[in-house]
Structure 1
Amino acid sequence: MAKPLARYAALTGFVELGRTLSLDPVTLLTSVGLDPAGLDLQDRWVPAASVARLLELSAATSGRQDFALKLAERRRLSTLGPLSVGIRDEPDARSALRMLIRFQHTYNEALHIRLAERDGLATIRIRFDPGEPVPVRQSVELAVAVTHQLLRHLLGERWHPVSVSFEHGRPADDSTHRQFFGAPLHFDGEYSGILVYTGDLDEPNRLSDPLLRSYAQQVLDTLTTPEEPTLTNRVRELVELLLPSGRCSIEQVARSLGVDRRTVHRHLAKSGETFTSVLDSTRAELAKRMVTGRRYSLTEISEMLAFSTPSSFSRWFHQQFGMSPREWRKQTSG
């Protein structure tokens, strides 16, 4: 399987920030296999893992755990490329955010954003998967910060989220984080992302020009890939929810959706999936995420993913990713 790619635009402002922190940006870029000249070609694609390594190395070399947030401060909406044109002219924050999610692969294939709304609150979950075991703390913080900035662009400087969460631990100095987000911070959390009021997402996009929307649509028509069918997304969400409970079956998923199992099979087939393929890919995704994190022991993870023994989990993990979960965890520790 091909490794995820990211646009060079993800590093907008990197050289300038590096120099203000007395770093040598060119040396750092070349040390992770990136071409410094490529920074002038924002739409050029490079391995997402190399971008992740660069951000971690820059944070470590500068001694600044807030490196990603400082980089985010130099980003503009235009960094999203052609997608920025469509987002700018969506009528409200919700539709703009949904567009960001729908076309996220057009600017960073390693980035996965999910929106869930319930009881007046909207959870924006953000995950960064570079396809190999590298630390991603800075990449995640950059993605969360840029999403926060996008909402601030759309809703105005006075807007603030309900809270901001990160799966990784609290930095020694979180003053930049508190100032940047202006909201309660949770570290070592269940997910990385932003919690907002659903009412905020209904607010009109203050940047929108209805007369330009048709032109924006023409730009979006050049970006490929339709959104996955909603039911397929719901199946993935339910598998992720039910797997740790030991009750993850197609019958249980169908009951939760209020349909029969044949309907589930039919909708998955339209996306080229089966229930088994969704279960396998979701289990692999969860395993990688949990092993990368530090919240659970490897024994706990094996139980949560419904393996009979830790050794069977370890063998399965090695078949999936080419190394043991212990080796993966060691390589992703940053």
Structure 2
Amino acid sequence: MRDSDLPIRAGILRGFPALVGELGGQGEELLAAHGFDAEVGTQPDVFISLRDVERLLEDAASRLGVPDLGLRLAARQDLHILGPLAIAMENAQTVGEALQSAERFLFVLSPALSHEVIADPLNNPALLALRYSSTTGTGSPQSIDYGLGLVHRVVVLVSGGNYGLRSVHLPHGRIAPEAVYREYFGADVVFDGVEALLRLPRQFLAVPVGGGNELLREIAIDFLETHFGHEEVPVTDLVLAILQGQPGPDRPDLAKAARLLSMHPRSLQRLLVVEGATFKELVDRVRRDQAHTLITTTNLSFSQIAAQVGLREQSSLTRAVRRWFGTSPSALRRDAARESHAEAQPF
């Protein structure tokens, strides 16, 4: 896995070779073409590149001519792809409690993925929404379909059946027949939305989870809090994913980042130091990368960029850019435009 990639557990590809084989392809060949071992899906505690997984799904869907590949893969998997998080969710008292566990500990699967319960984006007070997102920023339709499809499947499995899903919102255009989406989700689907969402009744959170065992849940939560994930995923990667996923003024401080990782702030800071970083340095790194992208690829004013990266005023951005790149924001934008123009010229 390359240093710049965010990790995901290899178990995410469980069932992929068999699915490709059923569709007339060679699953092992596709895996090998993207640098994966044929047995990768059977290695749940190994981390692989999420970006490479996204590329694999898009390539496979294209080669096989199967536009709903992401949904088909999600349909083959079950709750236990989430490891001990599955135990915590299965043994929650209510669906709401199960979803809270998923929100707290989804980083165990990958620090790039997030899932949270939010207010209904269409302002219906009787509804709420489950939002699924990835910090990779690639907008891979197959990966989004797979991720939201898996969230839907997990909710069905936890709740024991139909949970009153009102509508599904996807942040990409329709890539498969609408009937395919309706059959999978059992609800209306809206394409080209802002986010990946499942809209459902607010009262659904209070629905009991059948067969739950409180002792098993406590054991699973304790295991997640004290062991799982932190020792296997670099804490630096987890913090970077959190910071990249919430830019600008809403970027979490040390206390909030620690709370999202179920850690004490001092414990988080100590672990970062062991890995050769500090929280302040990570904030600066994310701010630098975001500022460079906004300056060189957009026409936003420098005051707008300062606000978006979490700096109070334009002068703060100017000082930071000089420290990061040894030049001014205007010169950085001018040089980027010149390079882009030169690359566009025919030989």
TM-score, with length taken from structure 1 = 0.70
Query: Structure 1 CA distance, aligned partners of 2:200 and 2:332?
Result: 40
User: Cα distance 1:66–1:199, how it changes in 2: closer, same or farther (>3 A)?
Assistant: same
Residue type at the aligned position of 2:170? F
User: Cα distance 1:65–1:126, how it changes in 2: closer, same or farther (>3 A)?
Assistant: same
SS in structure 2 of the partner of residue 103 of structure 1 = helix
Residue type at the aligned position of 1:128? S
1:100 counterpart = 2:118: no
Residue type at the aligned position of 2:214? P
Match runs of 1:15-94 below 5 Å: 15-94=17-96
Look up the match of 2:133.
Answer: 127
Match runs of 1:291-310 below 5 Å: 302=300, 306-307=304-305
Look up the match of 1:178.
Answer: 182
Q: Percent identity?
A: 24
Residue type at the aligned position of 1:28? L
Look up the match of 1:163.
Answer: 167
Query: Structure 1 CA distance, aligned partners of 2:160 and 2:38?
Result: 35
SS in structure 2 of the partner of residue 22 of structure 1 = coil
Query: Structure 1 CA distance, aligned partners of 2:84 and 2:61?
Result: 30
Query: Structure 2 CA distance, aligned partners of 1:282 and 1:125?
Result: 26
Look up the match of 1:148.
Answer: 152
Shift of 1:5: 0.7
Shift of 1:192: 1.1
Query: Structure 2 CA distance, aligned partners of 1:29 and 1:216?
Result: 33
RMSD: 3.9
Shift of 1:281: 8.2
Residue type at the aligned position of 1:223? F
CA deviation vs aligned residue, 1:279-314 (integer Å, no higher than 9, x gap): 948967x97xxxxxxxxxx86x84799259xxx799
Query: Structure 1 CA distance, aligned partners of 2:220 and 2:63?
Result: 41
Query: Structure 2 CA distance, aligned partners of 1:76 and 1:266?
Result: 34
User: Cα distance 1:266–1:179, how it changes in 2: closer, same or farther (>3 A)?
Assistant: closer
CA deviation vs aligned residue, 1:190-235 (integer Å, no higher than 9, x gap): 1112122221112111241234333333432322569x9xxx99xx
User: Cα distance 1:239–1:46, how it changes in 2: closer, same or farther (>3 A)?
Assistant: same
Look up the match of 2:312.
Answer: none
User: Cα distance 1:267–1:13, how it changes in 2: closer, same or farther (>3 A)?
Assistant: closer
Residue type at the aligned position of 1:71? L
Shift of 1:128: 2.1
Query: Structure 1 CA distance, aligned partners of 2:331 and 2:211?
Result: 50
Select the structure of larger CA radius of gyration: 2
> 2:89–2:217: 8 Å Cα contact kept in structure 1?
no
- The count of aligned residue pairs is 277
